[in-house]
């Protein structure tokens, strides 16, 4: 935006500005150097003043495995549905970024953050990308904002576009700047905004997410940019394993935050979306708890060795 100089406006209004900020309160005003009246203060503000805005929200759904089954539990951290202004904004001509480039840069910046935090990169998934594109365009078209703006949750949108999920999470945000954006700038402000929010950052760094879909859409009416970032793990990547008690004595174990008894000669199956450490609890609660990290397809066995109960991975034959 061209720097605005301190100026005078019609009908006693005044305009004061610096290189990066400006304040204007009037019914009719004049843009410095143009000497012409504008309609109302709302339009005048958007014609003359850089007014960036950022708002974001995050949502998480995890299918948590129980013994022998997958149970779906929704955990949402949401803001109430918000209706953005739908009226046309006459803004200073600015840069309109290539939104596909913005989406790619959001993925690259997210993976750079994951690398810093020792996480594996997420890969673009075409089905999640379609779901994200649908929702970004929906919010841009309707100016309705929120994880349920279209009446359904992110997990339902993922299902609609064929992503059979075990884990789904979603970050959304909107951004506006009357001076426009370069692709680099728009991607930067969106990712930095999410990084600074605990809920969004948690989604970005989820160690069990392996897929992502990102889309950005611009409202032709308001000029707002709406961004959707989805993360997922398909059901095909769930962790399924079994544990059998061959020790001849009743034992118990923990799996993540859950506690399970295991009588002699019993085998229990688990299927989970997230990997978790299994700890075999020592009899009487004394001594160290043997631990193992189950992987998909494992068969664990509880045995008695040298007078102590332990757990091993059974070698496949």
Residue bearing the bigger pLDDT, 275 or 50: 275
Instruction: Give pLDDT, residue 219.
Output: 94
As a whole number, the mean pLDDT across the chain is 77
Distance CA 183, CA 176 (A): 13
Out of 95-99, 155-159, 275-279, least confident range: 95-99
Structure letter (DSSP) for residue 11: G
Look at residue 229 and give its three-state secondary structure: strand
Residue bearing the bigger pLDDT, 236 or 33: 236
Distance CA 166, CA 60 (A): 11
Distance CA 286, CA 255 (A): 19
Residue among 99, 89, 100 nearest 51 (CA): 89
Q: For the stretch 186-223, what's the b/e string if a residue is b when 16 or more beta carbons lie within 10 angstroms of its beta carbon? A: bbbbbbebbeebebbbebbbbebbbbbbbbbbbbebbb
Phi, psi for residue 111 in degrees, rounded to 5: -70, -30
Q: Is the pLDDT of residue 48 over 60?
A: no
Q: Which of 85-89, 144-148, 311-315: highest mean pLDDT?
A: 144-148
Q: Is the pLDDT of residue 214 over 90?
A: yes
Beta carbons within 8 Å of 315's beta carbon, 6+ residues apart: none
Instruction: Give pLDDT, residue 15.
Output: 34
Residue 227 · residue 136 · CB < 8 Å: yes
């Amino acid at each position: 935006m061209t720097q605005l100089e301190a100026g005078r406006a019609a009908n006693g209004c005044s305009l004061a500005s610096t290189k990066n900020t400006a304040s204007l309160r009037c019914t009719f005003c004049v843009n410095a150097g143009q000497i012409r009246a504008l309609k109302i203060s709302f339009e005048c503000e958007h014609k003359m003043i850089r007014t960036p805005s950022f708002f974001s929200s995050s949502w998480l759904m995890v299918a948590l495995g129980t013994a022998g089954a997958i149970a779906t539990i929704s955990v949402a951290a949401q803001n109430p549905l918000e209706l953005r202004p739908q009226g046309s904004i006459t803004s200073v001509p600015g840069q309109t970024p290539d939104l596909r480039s913005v989406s790619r840069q959001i993925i690259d910046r997210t993976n750079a953050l994951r690398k810093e935090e020792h996480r594996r990169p997420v890969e673009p998934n075409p089905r999640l990308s379609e779901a994200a594109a649908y929702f970004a365009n929906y919010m841009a078209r309707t100016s309705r904002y929120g994880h349920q703006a279209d009446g359904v949750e992110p997990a339902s949108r993922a299902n609609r576009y064929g992503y059979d999920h075990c884990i789904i999470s979603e970050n959304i945000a909107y951004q506006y700047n009357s001076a426009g954006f370069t692709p680099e700038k728009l991607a930067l402000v969106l990712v930095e905004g999410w990084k600074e929010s605990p809920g969004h950052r948690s989604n970005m760094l989820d160690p069990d997410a392996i897929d992502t879909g990102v889309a950005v859409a611009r409202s032709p009416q308001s000029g707002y940019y709406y961004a959707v970032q989805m993360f997922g793990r398909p059901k095909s990547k769930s962790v399924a394993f079994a544990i059998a008690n061959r020790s001849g004595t009743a034992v118990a174990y923990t799996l993540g935050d859950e506690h399970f008894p295991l009588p002699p000669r019993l085998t229990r199956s688990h299927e989970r979306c997230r990997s978790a450490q299994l700890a075999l609890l020592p009899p009487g609660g004394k001594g160290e708890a043997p631990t193992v990290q189950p992987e998909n397809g494992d068969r664990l066995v509880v045995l008695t060795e040298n007078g102590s109960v332990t757990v091993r991975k059974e070698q496949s034959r």
